[in-house]
């Protein structure tokens, strides 16, 4: 829609998406929560028509370690993917209803993408118009995405020039991204036995890996994070337990275990012997959180990389 009411609605929905994203929900679960929110917003007490109905969303999460792209859609067109050296194809996925319809599930679609794949996400205003053939428009989009371009910016310009209607009747948004992958030299993984006596050894292993990466300045905080998260997984979680360090734009420490119980911060009293671990992790790192996995949960903490 258009106008102040629609703008306010989209602001609320965007804030909700950011909040739900921080909880690390899978795409299909995130859309389910967002759909519930829109339903509540649409049933406000004023009885007036509410602009939330008809909003669409495509939510995608890409993991540069596993190279998996997971996404789900609520009334939104499926993205196009261009694998290196291949022709553009539209992702076969089941789009749920627009947000606010309620009562129908959202399905997640997962792809494994080689490094350098191009993913094009767009709104339906790019290819849909009442005076335009839909199949012809999608063919134009496929050809434009497959044409050579020196950069993503140029590719975006080429797509808009070739596909966008001359006088669009709807807003048009286009986002084109290229995937990258983190090789084994930027990821370190250890299997952790459920033995508290082994925690010191994993602190040492993490320190040695940081030294190999030239990140000695991050050793103190990383040792503390590893110690607290691994100890908590051994004490309160379930096997199998894994420790993983990821060197990306930030330094990420992850500890996974087989329990689905989520951690929570609590303020320890003066004479408590425990309860301060997660609070220390939260205070010493830039961000932290947990996410549910198919076999349990993963708790992660992120530090900024030391300046070169």
What's the pTM value of the predicted model, to 2 decimals?
0.84
Which CATH number do you get for residue 283? Answer: 3.30.565.10
| Largest Cα–Cα separation, the chain | 74
197 shares its domain with 248: yes
118 shares its domain with 201: no
pLDDT for the residue numbered 22: 86
pLDDT for the residue numbered 264: 67
57 shares its domain with 121: yes
pLDDT for the residue numbered 267: 58
Beta bridge partners, 120, equal: 80, 176
Show Cβ contacts of residue 245 under 8 Å, excluding neighbours closer than 6 positions.
Answer: 187, 188, 206, 209, 210, 222, 251, 252, 253, 254
122 shares its domain with 202: no
Give residue 169's region: left, alpha or beta (phi > 0; psi -120 to 50): alpha
**How many domains does the chain fold into?**
2
Q: Which candidate, 71, 91, 57, places its Cα nearest to that of 25?
A: 71
Last residue of a domain, one of 113, 148, 178: 178
Last residue of a domain, one of 110, 144, 178: 178
96 shares its domain with 223: no
210 shares its domain with 170: no
Which CATH number do you get for residue 74? Answer: 3.60.40.10
Q: What is the pLDDT along the chain (308 residues), one digit of tens a residue?
A: 678 888 888 888 899 999 999 888 899 999 999 998 888 877 664 545 454 467 889 999 999 999 999 999 999 999 999 999 999 999 999 888 998 887 788 999 999 999 999 999 999 889 887 778 888 999 999 999 999 999 999 999 999 999 988 777 778 899 999 999 999 999 999 999 999 999 999 999 999 999 999 999 999 999 999 999 999 999 999 999 999 999 999 999 999 999 988 776 665 544 444 456 788 899 999 999 998 888 899 999 999 998 76
172 shares its domain with 52: yes
151 shares its domain with 260: no
Q: Give the whole-angstrom CA distance, residue 154 versus residue 174.
A: 13
pLDDT for the residue numbered 53: 60
pLDDT for the residue numbered 8: 84
Calculate the alpha carbon distances from 257 to 201, 207, 228, 293, 298 in Å: 18, 22, 14, 9, 7
300 shares its domain with 263: yes
Last residue of a domain, one of 162, 178, 194: 178
pLDDT for the residue numbered 67: 96
170 shares its domain with 220: no
154 shares its domain with 189: no
Which range of residues forms the domain containing residue 205?
A: 184-304
230 shares its domain with 166: no
Identify whether the C-beta of residue 302 lies closer than 8 Å to the C-beta of residue 252.
yes
Q: Which candidate, 85, 84, 82, 104, places its Cα nearest to that of 28?
A: 104
Alpha carbon 217 to chain centroid distance? 28
């Amino acid at each position: 829609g258009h106008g102040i009411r629609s703008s306010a609605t989209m602001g609320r929905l965007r804030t909700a998406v950011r909040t739900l994203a921080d909880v690390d929900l899978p795409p299909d679960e995130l859309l389910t929560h967002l759909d519930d929110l829109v339903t509540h917003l649409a049933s406000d007490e004023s009885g007036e028509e509410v602009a939330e109905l008809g909003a669409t969303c495509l939510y995608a999460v890409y993991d540069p370690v596993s190279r998996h792209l997971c996404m789900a859609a609520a009334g939104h067109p499926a993205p196009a993917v261009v694998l290196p050296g291949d022709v553009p194809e539209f992702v076969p996925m089941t789009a749920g209803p627009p947000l606010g319809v309620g009562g129908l599930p959202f399905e997640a679609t997962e792809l494994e993408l080689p490094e350098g794949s191009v993913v094009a996400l767009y709104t339906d205003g790019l290819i849909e118009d009442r005076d335009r053939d839909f199949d012809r428009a999608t063919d134009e989009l496929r050809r434009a995405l497959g044409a050579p371009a020196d950069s993503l910016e140029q590719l975006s310009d080429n797509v808009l020039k070739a596909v966008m209607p001359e006088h669009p009747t709807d807003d048009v948004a286009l986002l084109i991204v290229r995937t990258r992958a983190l090789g084994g030299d930027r990821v370190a993984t250890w299997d952790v036995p459920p033995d508290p006596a082994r925690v010191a050894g994993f602190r040492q292993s993490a320190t040695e890996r940081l030294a190999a990466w030239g990140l000695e300045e991050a050793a103190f905080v990383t040792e503390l994070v590893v110690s607290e998260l691994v100890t908590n997984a051994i004490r309160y979680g379930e096997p199998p337990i894994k420790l993983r360090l990821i060197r990306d734009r930030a330094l990420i420490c992850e500890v996974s275990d087989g329990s689905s119980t989520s951690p929570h911060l609590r303020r320890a009293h003066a004479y408590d012997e425990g309860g301060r671990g997660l609070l220390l992790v939260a205070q010493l790192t830039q961000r932290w959180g947990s996410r549910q996995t198919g076999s349990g949960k993963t708790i992660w903490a992120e530090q900024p990389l030391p300046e070169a």
